[in-house]
Amino acid sequence: MITSEQMEALRGWLAGRLPAGLFAELLDVTVDREEITVVGRIPEPELDAEASQVEREAALDGRVAQFRERTRDDRVGVAREAERRFGRKVSWGVECGGRRTMYTTVSAPVMTRLRQPERQVLDTLVAAGVARSRSDALAWCVRLVERNADAWLGELRESLEHVRRVRAQGPDQ
């Protein structure tokens, strides 16, 4: 986790460094120990009002692919600078037509020790075809918790930030 001041510095650096017009709007910058994820909104393709849902979905796919290819060199340049400056890999994503698409995100290994009841949960998910492996099953569980616990995790992050501020006000060690 990074401090709010570090996050402000990162967002400011990105605002100054991203090429003008890269995104219609910078939506989200997320940071963890390994990765900085940058997500921006891009314009939707213009279609006739009579276009089918299939046509709309295909047009969104095409717009996202076109953006990815057209901006590759710019994004790679920014990512290299950010990786040197902030010590984390940079991943990119776009939102177009209400759909979020991520590019080359980091998949970091995580070590954990599980007791038999937890392993049985993972094995059940694998046996049921929900996941291909224990690793996939664990990732599925984390995504499920993330989706259902946003409010709780938000409060926890706020508490951690409060603790950081209080510690910063104390005497230097």
What is the C-alpha separation between 162 and 79, in angstroms, rounded? 30
Nearest to 78 by CA among 97, 108, 103, 107: 103
pLDDT tens, residue by residue, 60-86? 999 999 999 999 999 999 999 999 999
**How confident is the model over 9-29, as pLDDT tens digits?**
999 999 999 999 999 999 999
- Taking each continuous run of H as one helix and of E as one strand, the counts in the chain are 6, 4
Token couple for 94: 């776009």
- Per-residue model confidence as pLDDT tens digits over 90-111: 999 999 999 999 988 888 887 7
The reported pTM is: 0.71
Residues 99/41, Cβ–Cβ less than 8 Å: no
Report the C-alpha gap between 134 and 141 in whole angstroms: 10
